[in-house]
Amino acid sequence: MRYLYSIGIHTYRFLIFLASFFNPKARELYKGQKNALRYLKSNIEENARYVWFHAASLGEFEQGRPIMEALKRQHPDLKILLTFYSPSGYNVRKDYRGADVVAYLPPDTRRSARAFVKTVKPLKAIFIKYEFWPNFLLTLRAEGVPTYAVSAIFRPNQIFFKWYGKWYLQLLTTFRRLFVQDQDSAVLLEKHGIHQVSVSGDTRFDRVFALFSEAKKLPLVEAFVAGKPVIVAGSTWPEDEDLLVKYLKKHPKIKLILVPHEIHKNHLEQISKLLDGKFIRYTEASENNIADYNCLVVDVVGILSSIYQYAKVAYVGGGFGVGIHNILEAAVWNVPVVFGPNFQKFKEARDLIQLKSAFSINDYTSLEENLDKLLCDEKAGQMAGNYVRENIGATELICRNLEFPEPAKNANEEKAQNQS
């Protein structure tokens, strides 16, 4: 099976190469993977002790970030290597100061995996949530590198639990421990013979609460709000924006803060056409002119989690695509959350729906119904903030179970210690 998988990986690489001629994202991915090993060989310190974290993209990075930062505090002698699969994750976080080296993950071939482990010599490897790369996992086991999964979540429809997925299920035995988000995941794994499992919860709660605690006031946003009810729409895509702008046009007394997931030129031009030019960009606003508009388009990154403090209701995008983005960043502010229909993979969305602090919509009619109701409901989001606070603590539990040996002393240190 490993042989067939390796053929598939090489085929996939070739398809990315072909796509790179006309698709910018494919070009970035191919180039990043191609140069990854060369970059690592130039930037990895030979005698340093590295802990390797791997994240698919930005969402997974945010889940791993609390652990990286806790390890740095507890073990300042350790160095962090952070790898990404996606260009979007790498491009946004390539300068992340919490890691000593940030790189693309090389392609998951046997040769690349062996070269990677030989170059980095990781003390431990930590995969965040979903990323399970067979050749890397098998190479890490062969080299005796303790490997962990954190904030992982498993569902019966995943390949591990299909009749044709036994090889993938066996790959889970390469992990020293799987830290899973919920009891359902643990029971499912135990049922299929995977026993090295701990229910730790989701580290995103820790990260979101930290952002909440560190949030600063945003004078421009405060000037825009001007005491009026505000919908903050975060990480939106065109399908979300079509519905939200329609609602805004029908309800001109409401204010909308639109924070698109992608802020490249073409997308911002699409939004401008949708709004008939009747909006102001964050980068062009001042406290003197911003209150005159009822739509603010945020064309910078990094402030969404703080903007949610001004929301009466939050809308989180992605639900009409592959899945919703982070709803916890809004929930921690006691704000009710609305999102599209593709939320089933996200436990926090299901939980908040049960608590009546989150609501899923399928079309404009259901959007209007929910927004009209929530804008008049002072108590709708109260349970959301409590839910976040009740679920913090995963980082501490995981770090307690990641045991690190003390760094080896050199001859001079041992001599000095013996003399003292």
What are the structural domains of the chain?
2-202+394-406 (3.40.50.11720), 218-390 (3.40.50.2000)
**pLDDT of residue 420 exceeding 90:** no
Average pLDDT, the chain: 93
**The one-letter amino acid at 324:** I
* pLDDT tens-place string over residues 209-244: 999 999 999 999 999 999 899 999 999 999 999 999
φ/ψ (deg, to 5) at 269: -65, -40
244-253 long-range Cβ contacts below 8 angstroms, 24+ apart: 244/315, 244/367, 245/274, 245/275, 245/295, 246/364, 247/364, 247/367, 247/368, 247/371, 248/275, 248/294, 248/295, 250/368, 252/294, 253/228, 253/229, 253/294
- What pLDDT, on the 0 to 100 scale, is given for residue 411? 44
Q: Is the dihedral of CA 366, 371, 376, 379 positive or negative?
A: positive
Calculate what percentage of the chain has a pLDDT beyond 90: 83
- Give the C-alpha separation, 74 to 395, whole Å: 12
* pLDDT tens-place string over residues 354-369: 999 999 999 999 999 9
The answer for 394, left when phi > 0, alpha when psi is -120 to 50, beta otherwise, is alpha
- What pLDDT, on the 0 to 100 scale, is given for residue 379? 84
**The one-letter amino acid at 312:** K
Tokens 């099976």, located at residue? 1
**pLDDT of residue 393 exceeding 90:** yes
- What pLDDT, on the 0 to 100 scale, is given for residue 407? 65
1-5, 135-139, 382-386, 409-413: lowest mean pLDDT where?
Answer: 409-413
Look up residue 4 and give its two tokens. 């067939």
Tokens 């909006």, located at residue? 279
Q: Angle at CA 150, nearest 5°, toward 77 and 65?
A: 55
The answer for 144, left when phi > 0, alpha when psi is -120 to 50, beta otherwise, is left
**pLDDT of residue 414 exceeding 90:** no
Query: Is residue 177 within 8 Å of 401, Cβ to Cβ?
Result: yes
**pLDDT of residue 326 exceeding 70:** yes
Query: Is residue 128 within 8 Å of 63, Cβ to Cβ?
Result: yes
pLDDT-derived band at 317 (thresholds 50, 70, 90) equals very high
* pLDDT tens-place string over residues 258-283: 999 999 899 999 999 999 989 999 99
The single-letter DSSP state of residue 253 is T
Separation in Å, CA 213 to CA 210, 306, 337, 352: 5, 10, 20, 21
- What pLDDT, on the 0 to 100 scale, is given for residue 418? 52
H-helix or E-strand containing 374?
helix 364-374
**pLDDT of residue 88 exceeding 90:** no
